[in-house]
Amino acid sequence: MKKYDAIIIGAGHNGLTNAAYLAKAGLDVLVVEKNEYIGGAAVTREMHDGWFYSSCSYVCSMMRQAIHRDLNLTKHGLVLVPYLGTVVFADNGDTMTSYHSEEAEYNQLRRRSPHDADAMFRFQADLGRYAQLIRKTLLRTPPDPTSFRPRDIRELLWLAKQFWSLGEKELYEYIRFFTMSAADFLDDYFEDDLIKAAMASPGVIGTALGVYSPGSAYVLLHHVMGDVDGNVGAWGLARGGMGAISNAIAGSVKEHGGEIRTHAGVDKILVKNGKATGVVLENGDELYANIVVSNMDAKRTFTQCMDKDDLPPGIYEKAKNFKIRGSSGKVNIALSGLPKFNNVADNRYINRGGQGFVGSMETLERAYDCWKHGRWSDDPFIESVIPSAWDPTVAPPGQHWMSNFIQYCPPQLADGPWTPEKRDAFGQTVVDKIERYSPGFKDLIVHMEVRTPHEIEAEVGLTEGNIFQGELTIDQLLFNRPFPGYAQYRMPIKNMYMCGSSTHPGGGVSSACGANAAREILIDLKRPNTVPEDDFYDE
């Protein structure tokens, strides 16, 4: 029976990245994937004739450039294109456009509030400062603060130095920012509610927090710290949909001799004498390897794919307590034409970009309240983008694909389990809301795919459909991710590792988790490290 050097469970972008780096280092790797296609949540699927949906994740900004270059992803077909312009909609129909030009953006903000237009400069600088610090940590393994190993101490000191270099005042500001709510943070800068709501909305995407919850300011940063070619905060679309990212990384895996097997769902991770030895597939096949790497989330890995008895005491409970809350839905819509929105100029640069149906700070928060009560809001926050306006490959010419991300959507409903009827009713709520801002929108709909946390979990395997593989709160960040003591990608079982977004630095299509895990594995195997430690940032 063949024995691989490493088996990676799950062909999401992090699993593939991990496999690519291990294969590149000369290891014989196998990636097993339960679906018949690869990509996990970074996937493009033809869900309707001629329409290719990025069914789950839909835009990209965190992809590490060092990895992109390192793994030759451009050669393997990946092109990331920044998209321009976003319009946000207020409850009362007001709109605000974000323009690509800083001067135009300034005039636009000034129309709403001269004060806020001015304050935006400072806001951007402050956010830039915070983002810069975090970005430097993305491709580094978090230190263990309880350890005395030289490497951990060195890394802790490195981290301390980064904080130190902020200067005393900014250090305090940083702590404030890290622990505040998005609402409180924004109140420091802005007075206009729509501007605040537009800025706050990224703070709740994918998370079971509201804009008034402490900690949401950090999530806001998590969404704006990405960049496209150094333009911090810019968002990019992958040409060909998000699947192009996974396909390119898969290309790199194959280039280095790695193997990818689809339709190969893992039933159990094999453990013998306290060591991971391989996996049992759902069809009963056993596959063996020196190393097993899980790209599944921590909860699924430990509570579903392992025997409690195989785990050291306490781990099962830690996994059970790991917070991975479904809070988002997704509605993918095929359109026969480009929708027109009220109070938005017929401008090719903006009406083809993104739409944020944010309403107001209170509307955002009330949508969260509904989630707490186990129902979806009648007036949810929707973040939409029409990638087909920029990418000719995802819909037939002249027709369009619109991606709608909905916050919030509960994983369990108070009135019983999700049913197809309830799912469709949820989708209808979304369409109804868009119709309010875009009369005639419904008539353009050719096909529609609705995903609640239930569908996302069923298809992608993300517990509760949580897009980050675990909440981004301080108790689950950096050396706490996924659990204290296990943040360095090594798991409590020997020869077993994790490389998914449940690990540092968390969710987002960044490839950082997979790359960092590969680095640790190579260290353990005493192989030369090929994984980059930063993303071309100059001090």
Partner 1 sequence: MMNSQTESSDPFAGERLKESPFHPRQAALNLRNAWSSWNGYKFADYYYDEEYEYFCVRNSCATYDICPMQKYIISGVDAEAMLDRMVTRDITKLKENRVTYVCWCTDEGRLIDDGTIFKLGTDKFLLTCGSPSLAWLRKSAFGFNQMKIEDASDTIAGLSFQGPTTCEVLKRMGLEGIDQLKPFCIAHFSFAGSEDKPLMVSRTGFTGDLGYELWINPSLALSFWDALYAAGEDYGIQPYGEAATNMARLEAGFIMPGMEFNEALKTIHYHYDQTPFELSLDWLVDFKKPHFNGRTALMSARDTGSEYTLIKLDIEGNKPAEESFLYADEGCIKEIGYVTSAMWSPVVKANIALAMVKTEAIKDSIWAEIYYTKELRHHSKVAKCKVQSKPFWAPDRARATPPAAF
Partner 2 sequence: MDDYDNIIIGAGHNGLICATYLAQKGHSVLLLESSSHVGGLAATREFHPGYKVSVAHSLSHFSETVASELNLSAHGFNPSGETLETIGLNLQGTPVVLSGDQISGVSTDDAEKYSEYLAVLKRFAKVLKPFWLKTMPRIGHNTVSDLMTFGHLGLNLRMLGKKDMGEFMRVATLPARDLMDENFDNDLLKAVLSWDGLVGSKMAPRSPNATVLNMLYRMSGKDHGAHSLPEGGIESLINALKMAAVSAGVEIQTNAAVSRIIVDGDENGLKATGVELADGRKISAIRVISSADPKRTFLNLVGAKNLEIEFTNRINRLRCDGYVAKLHLALSDLPMFTGVEKPCGRMIIAPEMDAIEFAFDHAKYGEYSDSPVMEILLPSVKDSTLAPKGCHVLSAHVMYIPHSLKTGWTDHAKEALYQTLVQTLERYAPGITKHIVHGELMTPADLEQTFNVTGGHWHHTELAMDQMLMMRPTYEAGQYSSPVKGLYLCGAGSHPGGGLMGGPGHNAAKEILRAEKKR
Residues that bind partner 1 in the complex, under the rule CB under 8 A: 97, 99, 101, 103-104, 106-108, 110, 114-119, 121-122, 124-125, 128-129, 132, 165-167, 169-170, 189, 345-350
| Residue 297 within binding range of partner 2, rule CB under 8 A | no
Measured from the CB atom, the residue of 108 and 428 that comes closer to partner 1 is 108
Instruction: State which of residues 108, 132, 162, 179 lies at the interface with partner 2 (CB under 8 A).
Output: 179
Measured from the CB atom, the residue of 56 and 493 that comes closer to partner 2 is 493
Residues 143 and 120: their CA atoms lie apart, in Å, by: 35
Residues 450 and 441: their CA atoms lie apart, in Å, by: 16
| Residue 191 within binding range of partner 2, rule CB under 8 A | no
Binding-site partner at residue 207 among partner 1, partner 2, none, CB < 5 to 8 Å by type: none
Binding-site partner at residue 323 among partner 1, partner 2, none, CB < 5 to 8 Å by type: partner 2
Local structure of 270: helix, strand or coil: strand
| Residue 312 within binding range of partner 2, rule CB under 8 A | no
Helix ranges restricted to H, 413-462: 420-437, 453-460
Nearest to 328 by CA among 408, 385, 426, 433: 408
Binding-site partner at residue 81 among partner 1, partner 2, none, CB < 5 to 8 Å by type: none
Q: Which of residues 442-481 bind partner 2 (CB under 8 A)?
A: 473-476, 479-480
For 159-162, the CB contacts below 8 A with 24+ separation are 162/133, 162/136, 162/137
Give the contacts of 72 (CB within 8 A, at least 6 positions apart): 252, 255
Beta strand segments in 63-174, E: 80-82, 86-90, 95-98
CB 128 within 8 A of CB 374: no
Report the nearest approach of partner 1 to the CB of residue 104 (Å): 5
Binding-site partner at residue 132 among partner 2, partner 1, none, CB < 5 to 8 Å by type: partner 1
Tokens of 364: 């955002």
Local structure of 281: helix, strand or coil: strand
Torsion of the alpha carbons at 307, 308, 311 and 314, rounded to the nearest 10? 160
Q: Which of residues 192-221 bind partner 2 (CB under 8 A)?
A: 208-209, 212-215
Q: In terms of DSSP bridges, do strands 354-359 and 236-238 run parallel, antiparallel, or are they unpaired? A: unpaired
Query: x-or-dash pattern for partner 2, window 141-160, by CB under 8 A?
Result: ---xxxx-------------
Report the nearest approach of partner 1 to the CB of residue 280 (Å): 51
Q: Which of residues 358-377 bind partner 2 (CB under 8 A)?
A: 362, 365, 369, 372-373
**What is the CB neighbour count within 10 angstroms for residue 469?**
29
| Residue 341 within binding range of partner 2, rule CB under 8 A | no
Residues 468 and 322: their CA atoms lie apart, in Å, by: 12
Which residues sit at the interface with partner 2, rule CB under 8 A? 144-147, 167-169, 171-172, 175-176, 179-180, 184, 187-188, 208-209, 212-215, 317, 321, 323, 362, 365, 369, 372-373, 473-476, 479-480, 483-485
